[in-house]
A and B are shown apart, each in its own frame.
Chain A
């Protein structure tokens, strides 16, 4: 009987082992599946957070302005702080006459839409459809023709991978007129300021037009340019002066100007003193605005009169 007892003990141990191993396999299988599921959920959550962050960056760093002239809307889109490529995927325009115009990738080719993209290397490419790809530091001029009513509101949508953001397009004419009418400081609080990027601005006299007489052959003078850089709470002033000898029209170049929301510039008059008379020369344009963009050249013509 001894061996029978041992045999029963042995059998119960085997059954226990079998149950234990099967239970271990079941638990392992379920655990593996749960771990996979949990990882999927985490990945989805991470993607969602990244999408929100990317959209926020695009809204902050991509700038757009429009100008309505001669039945055409000109929209300037640029970014010097957004370090990624993106697409201009949609345009929406609300007009004063109650109508609207939209463009997207489903609109196909449009004969009233012209998008000129200027890349960082200076190359240009024209499109008349969306979406349009924008590399870092590239800018786009969007021209929309045959617009017979003033635009009331314009916005563009931009896409980066899974993220999408809408950029309100600001009215450049209102911006400039309010600056000229009320002064420079704190007139239009900028909503977007770009830091840590630099560009060059060159003011060049391209012509001196002498009215009421011949140009002086002996007088020399100076001219200057002031640039006001609007920031969130204050402004900075950059001044350039240049000695202006007769028949010599040098440039004034501001190198490595830090990017901001915009610069408002004033160009000085030039006075050529004489013994009995003097010439006074007025610049055209005498003031203006420079948007955050690539290197900029401002051409100035001086109109000179007897003073």
Chain B
């Protein structure tokens, strides 16, 4: 009886360990999948946020003529979401974006590697500091009367 009990214990322990391993593997698969999904979601959100932060625009020229301010820029390799324009630190609500012969109101997304123009009306013909805010940050340029 003792021997049979001993054998039964060992078998039981082996079975328990095997069951534990099976549960463990199931758990790791589940956890890995769940954590992977979570990390993937986090990564995706993080990547989107990072991509937005990596947006950059490169000023190509700016000037003021006939009461209008023009800010010419390249939209960079990721495109850019233009949100607002400030002239001498004051937000301006008379601005639009001209791209591919079409005018768009702010805020607007410009596709990658495009040359677009921000036009603001009713601007005083004095040298001004232009600040353009976009999803990746801000960029500054001086605009003088031409």
Q: Which residues of A does B touch, CB under 8 Å?
A: 3, 7, 10, 14, 17-18, 21-22, 24-26, 28-30, 32-34, 36-37, 40-41, 44, 48, 51, 89-92, 94, 96, 98-100, 102-107, 131, 152-153, 155, 157, 159, 161-166
Contact = CB atoms under 8 A, between A and B. Distances in A.
A165 B46 CA distance: 26
Contacts of B84: none
Which 3 A-B pairs give the minimum distances between C-beta atoms? A98-B65, A92-B60, A29-B31
Given A90-B60, A106-B114, 5 more contacts: A21-B20, A25-B25, A29-B32, A37-B39, A153-B63
Of A157, A159, A162, which is in contact with the most chain B CB atoms at under 10 Å from its CB? A157
Contacts of A10: 9, 13
A157 B72 CA distance: 11
Given A26-B27, A162-B77, A21 B113 contact: no
B66 interface: yes
A94 B74 contact: no
Contact of A166 (B13, B20, B28, B74): B74
Contacts, number: 127
25 contacts: A3-B2, A7-B9, A10-B13, A14-B17, A18-B16, A18-B17, A21-B21, A22-B23, A22-B27, A25-B24, A25-B25, A25-B27, A32-B32, A36-B39, A51-B77, A90-B113, A90-B114, A92-B60, A92-B72, A98-B65, A106-B114, A131-B113, A152-B63, A157-B60, A164-B77
Of A29, A107, A153, A161, which is in contact with the most chain B CB atoms at under 10 Å from its CB? A29
Contact of B5 (A3, A89, A163): A3
B50 interface: yes
A293 B115 CA distance: 27
A159 B113 CA distance: 8
A17 B32 contact: no
B89 interface: no
Q: Kindly state the interface size class of chain B when it binds its partner.
A: 35 or more
B146 A37 contact: no
Nearest to A162: B77
Nearest to B2: A3
A107 B100 CA distance: 6
Contacts of A100: 61, 70, 72, 117
A223 to B, nearest CB: 44
B58 interface: yes
B43 interface: yes
Nearest to B110: A106
Contacts of B56: 164
Contacts of B74: 89-90, 104, 157, 164, 166
Contacts of B58: 157, 164-166
Nearest to A41: B46
B113 A155 contact: no
A164 B115 contact: no
Interface in B89-117: 99-100, 111, 113-117
B35 to A, nearest CB: 4
Given A92-B115, A164-B77, A17 B61 contact: no
